[in-house]
């Protein structure tokens, strides 16, 4: 009885070294392109924000970069412009880390829909829209908090003294947050697409928005301290945003919430906070 040669058996049984996955490539390219466009928009929009704020800076305290970005105004145009820049910045920083979650939605979750093609075409943008909506809410809260801080410092000048220690305190607090159980719970939902969709699955296009919003809540719970560092310490500078985006991508996609990485990041933030407390001018070299 003829038998196949060892070479033919190995060729038939061995899986291909590389199997093209058009959907994975498409999702990755689109999200990275959107992130790149957001980085470009942030680069060109940031000077306009600085310019608009500098024109009204006479009545604002120098609060480690915050007052240079958020003006003491609650006008719709000012808040709206800040929100646009903030959400674009969030897309730039967070979309690369969203690739596994969006890919799982497109490859697995959409197959359970009555119209999978529509779910991919319309559901994916709605999922991302719900995700960014949580950061838009965070941005509005940040703006109102900074507005209150600026106006309180104008009414009570003694409070301006806290601006000297604010960057150091924020960095140290961000480091300690890495040790918290809330951080651990939130990141566990961010690094496991299967676990997230198994417990938070919704059907339909509105369900896609709801899932994106829910995932955004966990993501905000995981990363809000980074965003506070970006705004209050880094003054939304592009280098600081890029550095934090790298930390977030490593944390969520590469090491997937590993304890050792969280501890290393915590120690780095605490050490940097102590360093800034003794040498505040060190920040000016990177902002």
pLDDT digits (tens, 9 = 90+) for 143-185: 888 888 777 877 877 777 777 788 899 999 999 999 999 999 9
Within-domain flag for 167: yes
- Number of domains forming the structure of the chain: 1
DSSP secondary structure of 223-262: HHHHHHIIIIITTT-HHHHHHHHHHHHIIIIIS-S-HHHH
Q: Is 117 part of any domain? A: yes
Could you tell me if residue 3 is inside a domain? no
Ranges in the chain, pLDDT < 50:
1-4, 6-20, 51-66, 68
Task: Report the run of H or E that residue 268 belongs to, with start and end.
Answer: helix 259-278
Residue 173 lies in a domain: yes
145 domain residue, yes or no = yes
pLDDT of residue 69: 54
Residue 28 is assigned to a structural domain of this protein: yes
**CB-based burial, 119-134: b 16+ in 10 Å, e otherwise:** bbeebbebbbebbbbb
Query: CA-CA distance, 228 to 166, in Å (whole number)?
Result: 11
The CA distance from 168 to 180, in Å, is 19
pTM for this model (two decimals)? 0.82
Residue 168 lies in a domain: yes
Distance separating alpha carbons of residues 187 and 26, to the nearest angstrom: 26
pLDDT at 208: 95
204-215 in b/e form (b: 16+ CB < 10 A) is ebebbbbbbbbb
Q: Give me the pLDDT at residue 53, please.
A: 44
The secondary structure element, H or E, covering residue 55 is none
The boundaries of the domain holding residue 56 are 21-285
At residue 74, φ and ψ (nearest 5 deg) are -110, 25
- 5 inside domain: no
Answer yes or no: are the C-beta atoms of 169 and 276 closer than 8 Å. Answer: no
Residue 281 near residue 202 (C-beta atoms within 8 A): no
| Cα–Cα distance for residue pair 228/218, rounded to 1 Å | 16
CA–CA separation, 94 and 125 (whole Å):
15
CA atoms in the 13 A half-sphere facing the CB of 205: 10
């Amino acid at each position: 009885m003829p038998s196949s040669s060892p070479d033919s058996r190995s060729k038939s049984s061995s899986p291909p070294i590389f199997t093209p996955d058009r959907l994975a490539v498409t999702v990755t390219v689109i999200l990275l392109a959107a992130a790149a466009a957001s980085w470009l928009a942030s680069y060109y929009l940031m000077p306009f924000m600085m310019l608009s704020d500098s024109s009204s800076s006479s009545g604002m305290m120098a609060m480690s970069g915050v007052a240079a970005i958020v003006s003491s105004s609650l006008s719709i145009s000012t808040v709206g412009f800040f929100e646009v820049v903030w959400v674009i910045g969030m897309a730039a920083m967070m979309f690369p880390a969203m690739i596994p979650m969006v890919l799982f939605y497109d490859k697995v979750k959409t197959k359970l829909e009555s119209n999978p093609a529509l779910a991919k075409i319309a559901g994916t943008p709605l999922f991302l829209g719900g995700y960014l909506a949580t950061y838009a809410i965070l941005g509005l809260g940040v703006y109102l908090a900074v507005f209150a801080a600026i106006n309180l410092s104008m009414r009570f000048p003694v409070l301006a003294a806290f601006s000297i220690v604010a960057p150091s305190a924020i960095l140290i607090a961000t480091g300690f947050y890495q040790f918290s159980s809330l951080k651990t719970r939130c990141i566990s939902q961010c690094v496991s697409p299967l676990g997230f969709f198994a417990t938070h699955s919704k059907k339909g296009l509105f369900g896609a928005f709801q899932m994106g919003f829910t995932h955004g809540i966990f993501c905000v719970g995981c990363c809000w301290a980074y965003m506070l560092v970006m705004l209050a310490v880094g003054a939304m500078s592009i280098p600081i945003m890029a550095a934090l985006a790298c930390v977030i991508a490593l944390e969520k996609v590469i090491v997937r919430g590993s304890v050792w990485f969280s501890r290393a990041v915590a120690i780095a933030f605490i050490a940097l906070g102590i360093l800034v407390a003794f040498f505040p001018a060190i920040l000016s070299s990177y902002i």
